[in-house]
Amino acid sequence: MNKKMIEVKNLCKDYHIVKKEEGLKGAVKGLFKSEKKTIEAVRHLDFTVDKGEIVGFIGPNGAGKSTTIKMMSGILTPSSGEILINGVDITKHRKEVVQNIGVVFGQRTQLNWDLRLGESFELLRHIYQIDRNEYEETLDVMDEILDIRKIIDKPVRQMSLGQRVKGDLVAAMLHSPDVLFLDEPTIGLDVSSKYALRKFIKEINKVKQTTVILTTHDLGDIEELCERLIIINHGKMMEDGNLVDIVDRIAPYKTLVVQYYDHENIPVHHSCEMIKTEGNMAWYRFMKADITAAALISELSEKKKILDVSIEEAGIDDIIRIAYGQ
Amino acid sequence: MKLKGLSKYLYVYKTQIIRCFTYKFEVYGNILMQSIIMITSAFFWRALYRTGNPVAGVDVEGMLTYIIISAMMSVLLITNVERRIENSVQKGTIAMDMMKPLNIFGIYLVEDLGSITALVFQNLLPIFLVGSLLVKVPTICSTEHIPLFAISMLMSFFINWLIAALFGMWSFTAVNVDALIQVKKHLIRLLSGSIIPMWFFPDWFRNILEALPFVYIYQLPLDIYIGKSSGDELAGMMMIQFVWLIILLIAFAYVARRATKKVLVQGG
Amino acid sequence: MFGKFLKELWHYIDVTICNIKMALMMIIEYPANLAGWMISNPIQFILGFATIKFVVEQFGEINGWNYGQLAFLYGLSVISHALSMIFFVQGWFMGWFVIEGDFDRYLTRPLGVMYQFFFTNINIFGITDLIPGICVFIYGCVKSGFEWSILKAIAIIVMLIGATLIRGGIYIMLGTTSFFTKSPMDFGQYTQEIVDKTTMYPISMYPESMQFVLTYLIPIGWVSFYPVSGLLGIGDSSYFGTSAAFMTLLVGLIVMLVAGAFFRLGLKGYESAGN
pLDDT band at C238 (very low <50, low <70, confident <90, very high): low
> Does residue A197 sit in the same domain as residue A286?
no
Write down the pLDDT at residue B64. 94
Give C-chain residues touching B195 at CB under 8 angstroms. 51
Give B-chain residues touching C54 at CB under 8 angstroms. 196, 200-202, 205
Q: Which of A216, A232, A248 is the last residue of a domain?
A: A248
Q: Nearest-CA neighbor of B82 among B116, B105, B98, B102?
A: B105
Give C-chain residues touching A98 at CB under 8 angstroms. 107-110
Residue A36 lies in a domain: no
Give A-chain residues touching C275 at CB under 8 angstroms. 15, 41, 62, 66-67
Q: Flag the least confident range among A26-35, B86-95, B156-165, C252-261.
A: A26-35
Query: Are the beta carbons of A8 and A47 closer than 8 angstroms?
Result: yes
Would you tell me how many other CB atoms lie within 10 Å of the CB of residue A100? 17
Out of C11, C25, C101, name the one closest to residue A119 (CB): C25
Residue A262 burial by Cβ neighbours in a 10 Å radius (0-12, 13-18, 19+): exposed
The total number of structural domains that make up chain B: 1
Does the pLDDT value for residue A24 go beyond 80? no
The CA distance from B194 to the nearest CA of chain C, in Å, is 12
**Taking an 8 Å Cβ-Cβ cutoff, which residues of chain A contact chain B?**
20, 23-24, 27-28, 30-31, 34
- Residue C29 and residue A115: Cβ atoms within 8 Å? yes
Domain coverage including residue B259: 9-266
> Does residue A207 sit in the same domain as residue A266?
no
Q: Is the ipTM of this complex over 0.90?
A: no
> Does residue A216 sit in the same domain as residue A272?
no
Tens of pLDDT, residue by residue, chain B (268 residues) = 455 677 888 888 888 888 887 777 778 888 888 888 899 889 988 888 888 788 888 889 999 999 999 999 999 998 999 888 888 887 777 777 777 778 889 999 999 999 999 989 888 999 999 999 999 999 888 888 999 999 999 999 999 999 999 998 888 876 667 777 878 888 888 889 888 888 888 889 889 999 999 999 999 999 999 988 878 889 999 999 999 999 999 999 999 998 888 877 765 4
Q: Nearest-CA neighbor of C156 among C232, C54, C263?
A: C232
First-residue to last-residue Cα distance in chain A = 35
> Does residue A210 sit in the same domain as residue A313?
no
> Does residue A109 sit in the same domain as residue A226?
yes
| Mean pLDDT across A53-62 | 88
> Does residue A123 sit in the same domain as residue A220?
yes
Domain coverage including residue A298: 252-325
Q: Which residues contact B245 (CB under 8 A, 6 or more apart)?
A: B155, B158, B159, B162
* Nearest-by-CA chain B residue for C48: B190
The type of residue at C104 is: D
The pLDDT > 90 percentage for chain C reads: 55
> Does residue A169 sit in the same domain as residue A318?
no
| Mean pLDDT across C260-272 | 92
Write down the pLDDT at residue A2. 67
> What is the tally of helices (H) and strands (E) in chain B?
12, 0
Out of B14, B24, B27, name the one closest to residue A24 (CB): B14
Residue A235 burial by Cβ neighbours in a 10 Å radius (0-12, 13-18, 19+): buried
Write down the pLDDT at residue B1. 44
| Mean pLDDT across C2-7 | 90
Does the pLDDT value for residue A217 go beyond 70? yes
Q: Which of A214, A248, A282 is the last residue of a domain?
A: A248
Instruction: Tell me the pLDDT of chain A averaged across its residues.
Output: 88
Residue A292 lies in a domain: yes
> Does residue A140 sit in the same domain as residue A108?
yes
Q: Is A41 helix (H, G, I), strand (E, B) or coil?
A: strand
Residue B66 lies in a domain: yes
Give me the CATH number covering residue A278: 3.30.70.250
The answer to whether the Cα torsion of A158, A160, A163, A168 is positive or negative is: positive
pLDDT band at A181 (very low <50, low <70, confident <90, very high): very high
| Mean pLDDT across C167-186 | 89
Distances (CA, A) of C40 to B14, B180, B187: 35, 7, 9
Query: Are the beta carbons of A116 and A152 closer than 8 angstroms?
Result: yes
The CA distance from B189 to the nearest CA of chain C, in Å, is 9
Q: Flag the least confident range among A27-36, B7-16, B161-170, C119-128.
A: A27-36
The CA distance from C173 to the nearest CA of chain A, in Å, is 21
Write down the pLDDT at residue C239. 65
Instruction: Tell me the pLDDT of chain C averaged across its residues.
Output: 89
Residue B173 is classified by DSSP as: G
Does the pLDDT value for residue A170 go beyond 60? yes
Give me the CATH number covering residue A106: 3.40.50.300
Q: Which of A233, A248, A263 is the last residue of a domain?
A: A248
Q: Flag the least confident range among A143-147, A224-228, C35-39.
A: C35-39
Write down the pLDDT at residue B268. 42
Residue B214 lies in a domain: yes
Does the pLDDT value for residue A91 go beyond 70? yes
Does the pLDDT value for residue C12 go beyond 70? yes
A181: which strand partners?
A103, A213
Query: Are the beta carbons of C161 and C249 closer than 8 angstroms?
Result: yes
Residue A249 burial by Cβ neighbours in a 10 Å radius (0-12, 13-18, 19+): exposed
> Does residue A193 sit in the same domain as residue A169?
yes
Quick check: A131 contacting C, CB < 8 Å? no
> Does residue A274 sit in the same domain as residue A241?
no
Residue B65 lies in a domain: yes
The total number of structural domains that make up chain A: 2
Residue B4 lies in a domain: no
Q: What is the DSSP secondary-structure string of A228-295?
A: EEEEEETTEEEEEEEHHHHHHHH--EEEEEEEESSSSS----TTSEEEEEETTEEEEEEETTT--HHH
Does the pLDDT value for residue C67 go beyond 50? yes
Residue A306 lies in a domain: yes
> Does residue A217 sit in the same domain as residue A70?
yes
Quick check: C99 contacting A, CB < 8 Å? no
> Does residue A111 sit in the same domain as residue A179?
yes
Q: Is B49 helix (H, G, I), strand (E, B) or coil?
A: coil
- Residue A123 and residue C11: Cβ atoms within 8 Å? no
Rounded Cα distance between C14 and C16, Å, is 5
- Residue B21 and residue A27: Cβ atoms within 8 Å? yes
Write down the pLDDT at residue C68. 92
Give B-chain residues touching C41 at CB under 8 angstroms. 182
Write down the pLDDT at residue C114. 94
